[in-house]
């Protein structure tokens, strides 16, 4: 079992995050952050452990401007987080 944190922010906050972490000085609709260094995040083991894979930050006002649903943005963010998890024979 694993979890993902969803965070909803305003335009000013997502623009600040986008500038800080992507060096892009404009608002975004969704940003995702994988917990752990690149290549270090892994699915929790089958021993019943749980873990948080990362965070998805969504700006609803920017999403509304682009006519994007929360579901679309969550899926997009989740795909970004999962793409950073190395493939393993045990998964």
Q: What does the pLDDT look like over 31-83, one tens digit per residue?
A: 999 875 544 445 555 445 557 788 999 999 999 999 999 999 999 999 998 88
Q: What is the pLDDT of residues 2-42, one digit of tens each?
A: 788 999 999 999 999 999 999 999 999 999 998 755 444 45
Give the whole-angstrom CA distance, residue 55 versus residue 35.
Answer: 8
What is the model's pLDDT at position 51?
Answer: 72
d(CA 16, CA 24): 9
Query: Measured between alpha carbons, how far is 52 from 34 in angstroms, rounded to an integer?
Result: 9
Strands 51-59 and 2-9 turn out to be parallel
Instruction: For the chain, give every domain's residue range.
Output: 2-83
CATH of domain 2-83: 3.40.390.30
Q: In this model, does residue 84 exceed pLDDT 90?
A: no
């Amino acid at each position: 079992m694993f979890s993902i944190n969803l965070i909803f922010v305003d335009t000013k906050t997502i623009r600040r995050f986008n500038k800080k972490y992507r060096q892009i000085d404009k608002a975004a609709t969704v940003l995702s952050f994988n917990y752990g260094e690149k290549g270090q995040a892994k699915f929790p083991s089958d021993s019943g452990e749980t873990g948080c894979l990362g965070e998805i930050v969504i700006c609803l006002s920017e999403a509304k401007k682009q006519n994007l649903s929360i579901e679309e943005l969550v899926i997009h963010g989740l795909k970004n987080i999962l793409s950073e998890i190395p493939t393993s024979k045990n998964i």
